[in-house]
Structure 1
Amino acid sequence: MAFTRPTGKHRRPTRADRKGAQVAGLAGLATVGAVGSLASPAMAATGQQAQQPAHGGLTQTVTLDDGLAVSVNEQANNQQSSAVRAEATAAARADAKEHAAESKKKAEAEARKRAAERAEARAEARAQERVEERAARSAEPRSAVGGYVAPIAGGSVSTEYGSAGGSWSSGQHTGADFSASSGTAVQSVTDGEVVEAGWSGSYGYRVVIQHEDGMYTQYAHLSSLQVSAGQQVGAGQQIALSGSTGNSSGPHLHFEVRSGAEYGSDVDPLAYLRQHGVNV
């Protein structure tokens, strides 16, 4: 069937009309092209038909970008939390270290204070002991003539000074022996300071006293000591009990007087006592 031209008169479009139609057509083509450009990448990537919404690809891309942003934010938050915790831990350790150092310093100061207090208390106690000792000596009855007494009250001499015999290492007696049963009171012959008090080999238990004139007296073969080194004693003060310790043949008191502390500086003890008014 042939297409026929419509009947009737038709006005030929003017030049202006033709120009407007061209502009409108170009605009339409541009719109269609733009839509096609947006839709075509999604269709090409998925192989789907053109009926799919053109914005499907764009929605997926936005979703991935949001997830990545969330992940980055979480990492940043975790790093910030770790940094805060590390800072808090470091601060806590520093505080603990400072507290421990302060506690140690206080404990050391307290220990020094207690040690000083104990030392002061010991010094006070020792000073009080000395006061009491002096008071006791002052209260003791003195039987001395001129401040001297015999080492044993009423005792008799059994072996004199210088007696020869093999019983003594020097070949002779370096002191004077006073007869006394075991447990008899032994007294200092005059004022002085105890320089030795204890065991001394062949002498057994002994006491050595240094006197104000520089002389030394020794009391040996004792069964019991009642003084200690460093103690001040007075004339007639009881210092020990007689016995038979060390190289001894029986209970007695071995009494010596020396001009020095060393062995061999002995002098006649009976003569020394008589010089000071003691009748022995």
Structure 2
Amino acid sequence: MAFKVLPAPSGKHRRPRRAALRTGTTLAGVAVLTAAGTFGATAATALSTPADAAPQAIEDIAFARAVDASDNLTDSLAAQAAAQHKAADETKRKAAEAKRKADEAKRLAEAAAKKAAAEAKAKAERIAEREAQARAARDEERRKLNSFVLPVDSGIGTGYKVPGSMWSSGYHTGVDFTASTGTPVHAVGAGTVVTAGFDSAYGNNVVIRHNDGIYTLCAHMSSLSVSVGQTVTTGEQIGLSGATGNVTGPHVHFEARTTAEYGSDIDPEAYLRSHGVSI
């Protein structure tokens, strides 16, 4: 390809033109070095400019095209940077969201564990309380079964085995507790009523078989509060004191026996003391 060379102007304009030419050439070279691939095409295009184009115009066209290519490259790089920033921001947002969800899951798990622990503790405490109440009830039941009391809260008038002709056996088979008519009479211990009724000598009387196999009798009562077959607890009222049967006045006759029948008597005071009763 041939270039048409224009005559160089004379006089003072000659050096500035060369300087301008060098300046333009330098700028074009910088543009080419900055974007080699793209600018190479631009330079080739500039070289293909018609031969009759002025050198200054050639330089201007090349420079303009280099600037456009540089702007396009800058825009492309800026777009890539923006996309990278956007992707980084999205990654950061997703990481923050994942962390938030993980923290929330951890908080919920800790709350659930704390609630479960509290419920387990409360349940264990309720079970322990019920067991303690059950033990207390059993202990109280055993206490009632094994504890004994006096038939009436009073002293003894006539003691055990005091001799006398007034008794068919020749001696007193029990002890007499002083009590006015109408005084409540209590079962000395837990057991089952085997006799509840009137007997000519004992009047209104109650015989109870206790859990240790010993029988006790309370006699001469004015009225009875229990019936045969009934179970009673320690201290439960079985009747009211009186003066029925073979007596000289109101009192409570109390006996301890190895059987329910007359003649199997044992020392009633010793029996009560053996069960912790103070007389």
Q: TM-score, normalised by structure 1?
A: 0.48
